[in-house]
A and B are shown apart, each in its own frame.
Chain A
Amino acid sequence: MASAMLFAVRRLRRGWRSGELFILVLALAVAVAASAAVNLFTERVRSALDAQTGEALGGDVLYSARRPLPPSLSPSAQALGLRTTELVHFTSVVFHGDASQLASIKAVGAGYPLRGALRVSSEPFGPARAAAGVPARGEAWVDARLWQALRLFPGAMLKVGALELRVSAVIQAEPDRGNGFADLAPRLMMNGADVADSQLLGPGSRAQYSLLVAGDAPAVQAVLAQPVPDGVRRQTPREARPEIRNALSRAGQFLDIAIVAATLLAAAAVALSARQYGEKLRDEIALLKCLGARQGFLVRALLLQLVLLGAAAALAGAAVGYLAQAALARVLADLMQLELPPPPLKPLLAAAALGGLMLLGFAAPPMLDARRTLPLRVFQRDLAASPLSRSVWIAAFAAAAALLWLASADTRLVLIVLAGIGLSAVALALLAWLLVLALQPLRRRVGISWRFGLGNVARRRAASVAQVTALGLALLALLLVSVVREDLLRSWQRKLPADTPNQFLINIQTDQVQPLRAFFQQRGYPALELWPMARGRLVELNGTPVTADSFPDPETQRWINRDFNLSWSTTLNPDNRITQGQWWGEAGRGQPWLSADEYAIERLHLKLGDTLTLDFAGERVTLTVHNFRTVEWDSFRPNFFLLAPPGVVPETVPTQWLTSFYLPPGDRALLRELIDAFPNVTVLDIEAMMNQVRGIIDRIVTAVEFIFLFTLAAGVTVLLAAIEGTRAERIRETALLRTLGARAGLIARGLLAEYAVLGALAGFIAAIASQTVAWVLAAQVFGIAYGPRPHLWALGTLGGAVLVALLGGLSLRRVLHTPPRRVLQQI
């Protein structure tokens, strides 16, 4: 073992010094680094975002119940090191002098909110500041609507039950408000310790008791592992903020592309360079066998080389990955206003395992195959060309499948990328063959340098085709990265243009629709689009009565327990897409049809043709599912799980309307006028939330672009490996040509011509392939429009020629300046 180790170390030392192992280690390290960086960073961002989206709940976990929560709940969370605070929600009429208003009262404990910030001002729509704590005992904070409704002023006294409270601030932003568009009464916030004195909460009174919990991730995990007491509902931020989840999962898809492409490319580079290294080892193995080396020794020496190589690459890759994610975190965490948790160890181990798998699947088989070399090769070098055994290909195929399985959870995306790369490889090989043939007649019409270069391409036809294919795949990945970056990422960013609606108006009564339109028209705003909405309860599904208990799934139970918001229209919002069935249009008017969104389909296991009976305050309406829709919930326009044609819901059913519009930053005074004119209308200002989403998208785009650098690096390793493949032969030929009197300049021009032609061929084919893959990805995965980009073809061809000629020139630079005697002597 000792001498096998010595041999392995000496051989690696030599391989490293000569550069023949550099590409192999580089490719492995790039793959490990890419995986480590992406997984470390996304893991940290994901948990940080979980914390940030905790703002939507005001904490990391929310327990709520219709009766006081079990007294043990808060202490048991605190025992885990978590912070807690208790809330009580109830509605009650609030008096100011003679004026009264039904208000949604929220009594908060010290420390509220545990996540996010409460923002207050001295008067409605005035400059906001972060609230210092919660309302003091005897004080009340109210929202603009309650302020308007009761004509309040700073220091005004309010009567809440038996309690007198002094108004001391106006609530501008409340992190955990606005889950859905329930017809919220105006808000009054008071200190939790005052609740008892109000004497409003007795047995049988309707109130919601909540406990907010927040803390570090392990403690939160621990509390989530505990059972939920009966009658208590537990929510986490994962169930909140679909628009941010959406952004994250979209980012996940982009990162998946980056990582899948980087992994496959690195695997190709590893396979190419391991095969080349294995070929070089054959002469030595033949000699070692002559000198008495046995299989055991050779296998040990080869395995040790692999282990040492793998360890070096994994360490280097993990270190680079770690630094890369740290750099990302440093640059982005500030921007993201995210407090990133420390990097977890698991992604690093997973990345090292990925490196090990690549080594086993792509590097080990061709290297170990070299041990089959016959000792007779010391006399007959051409014994070399024994084809690789079948096990090499099987191992590579199995490893590729395993790598993709590891790299991404999105099977469809992986299949598209894989099919794209596979088809491209076949197309590349075919086209390369034709183009190489087409070069033949060209040779007679060009100068000596080009003749030499083109001659090489045409003469080594099989090698040239293989090289163009490998180069093409690498260029394909590079182009794909640029396409995804430039077109797909940008069009995602553009999905939230500057004039995206940032205000929602809800609780609009039918007789207010026209005056409201006029209000906006007078102020020069674009025509408002208003959506009617009626609230019904699901009572029958396919004629069978249903209650919450008919469904085992708690989320469905909760949904059934709430009223369903049904809207109606003959036009489909642009952010809705029909996935099954047909949109009814004008023809639907009066038809008892229903359009269901994915959420409703999933919750109720709907099929087209199913019937739902909804009870609208005593009026029953039975609707047949006519089509399925997907909704882009991150579009910030009103959308509904259930839609019907107009004229289906009886006019006697109470109807409210809602709308959204874009309020330019300087126009905030309009809100006050609006509240004055329509006091019952609730304004939901989602500007802050939208900015957060927009910010998150921007940051994620930056992160994805950074990660694409690894894909680029992996692509370059394939280019290098492909160029390196014929280097030995070129060195020999160059020495021979120089011996025959060819000047270095002539040979250099010839070689550059050859590389340029190979690069141009590969680039041209890669451009076509990248367009096709991008088009499929855009349509199938991202749902983004994508048209052909002819300039990319020119870019691919020219870029391929320049890049390959440059890298090829660099790899042969030393050879051209070495005296031919030395070269010939070394061969």
Chain B
Amino acid sequence: MNLISARGVGKDVMSGGQPLTILADVDLDVAAGESVAIVGASGSGKTTLLSLLAGLDLPSRGEIRLDGHDLSGLDEDARAELRAGRVGFVFQSFQLLSGFTALENVMLPAELAGYKDAPARAQAALERVGLGARLSHYPHQLSGGEQQRVAIARAFCAEPTVLFADEPTGNLDAATGARIIDLLFEMNAARGTTLVLVTHDAALASRCRRVLRLREGRIVHG
């Protein structure tokens, strides 16, 4: 069964008073447990597609279904509710809340999903990514790699069915990036999470079961 499906999806924005098409006629299906890499040059529409699939934005045309729900039929609040507990994110710039400790950052999605055992889950997740000793550290006290590991722990804490990752190694050196990718795939495999990731990195893309290539807003290979 498809966890994510997109039919005829297009996205236009206004730029300098002119409509600009960022995505056009995107059709795609992602099965539960599958891992898909979206690759393409800068400006090809990768991140836009990711944000549409995650329900962060609505398409100008077409239909997107996430876990059986038509996203266009949901308002922003309902889409947030749909994400809570079902969707995890890993961002290029980590996106940790600077005033929250590692533990507090990680437990946030579980709290939002209403899990009573959020602190225990968060602690377990941090231990799994090897940061069991840094629970009460703030983001600025952690290295880039450690911050991204916190972000991965956060992504898995609420045991989502799908994980969206946007250039997860983009801000890291090669060695750290490689360790982060190993961790990401390892946890993904252990939980059978569906993974959709956007990357420039061919090595990273090749570890996914399927690679979709975008060019000027259209899927050219997938």
Contact = CB atoms under 8 A, between A and B. Distances in A.
A15 interface: yes
B191 interface: no
Contact of B83 (A6, A17, A290): A290
A378 B104 CA distance: 19
Interface string A539-567: 00000000000000000000000000000
Given A14-B98, A293-B80, A378-B91, A288 B56 contact: no
Nearest to A375: B56
B51 A292 contact: no
A289 B57 contact: no
Contacts of B54: 290
A825 B118 CA distance: 29
B207 interface: no
A205 interface: no
A690 to B, nearest CB: 62
B100 A14 contact: yes
Contact of A18 (B86, B97, B99, B104): B99
Contacts of A636: none
B117 interface: no
B140 interface: yes
Interface in B20-39: none
Given A17-B99, A379-B56, A826-B98, A288 B108 contact: yes
B97 A375 contact: no
Contacts, number: 85
Interface string A280-305: 00001001111111111100000000
Nearest to B97: A284
B206 interface: no
A11 interface: yes
B108 to A, nearest CB: 6
B166 A289 contact: no
A415 B200 CA distance: 63
A14 B138 CA distance: 10
B76 interface: yes
Nearest to B144: A825
A291 B51 contact: no
B112 A822 contact: no
B112 A293 contact: yes
Nearest to A13: B99
Interface in A257-298: 284, 287-297
A289 B56 CA distance: 8
A631 interface: no
B168 interface: no
A292 B112 contact: yes
Q: Output the residue of A11, A17, A288, A375 with the most chain B CB within 10 A.
A: A375
Contact of B140 (A10, A15, A822): A822
B164 to A, nearest CB: 9
A130 B87 CA distance: 88
Interface in A368-421: 374-376, 378-379
Interface in A51-99: none
B157 to A, nearest CB: 10
A280 to B, nearest CB: 10
A376 B56 contact: yes
Determine which residue in A3, A292, A822 has the highest number of CB atoms from chain B within 10 A of its CB, and name it. A292
A287 B95 contact: yes
Contacts of B100: 10, 14
B80 A292 contact: yes
A378 B95 contact: yes
B57 A288 contact: no
Contacts of B85: 292
A11 B56 contact: no
B87 A15 contact: no
Most buried by A among B76, B118, B154: B76
Interface string A798-827: 000000000000000000000000100110
Contacts of A294: 77, 80-81, 84
A293 B104 CA distance: 15
Contact of B56 (A10, A284, A378): A378
A200 B70 CA distance: 107
B40 interface: no
A288 B112 contact: yes
Nearest to B114: A3
B111 interface: yes
B111 A375 contact: no
A293 B108 CA distance: 9
Contacts of B99: 10-11, 13-15, 17-18
B89 to A, nearest CB: 5
B57 A374 contact: yes
A287 B112 contact: no
Contacts of B86: 292
A3 B111 contact: yes
Contact of A290 (B47, B56, B140): B56
Given A17-B99, A291-B108, 5 more contacts: A287-B97, A290-B54, A292-B83, A374-B76, A825-B144
Interface of B: 47, 50-51, 54, 56-57, 76-77, 80-87, 89, 91, 95, 97-100, 104, 108-109, 111-113, 118, 140, 144, 154, 166
19 contacts: A7-B108, A10-B100, A14-B99, A289-B80, A290-B89, A291-B112, A291-B154, A292-B80, A292-B82, A292-B84, A292-B85, A292-B109, A294-B80, A294-B81, A295-B76, A375-B80, A379-B47, A379-B51, A826-B140
Interface of A: 3, 6-7, 10-11, 13-15, 17-18, 284, 287-297, 374-376, 378-379, 822, 825-826
List the 10 closest A-B pairs by CB distance, nearest first.
A14-B99, A292-B84, A292-B83, A3-B111, A375-B56, A291-B109, A376-B57, A292-B112, A376-B56, A294-B80
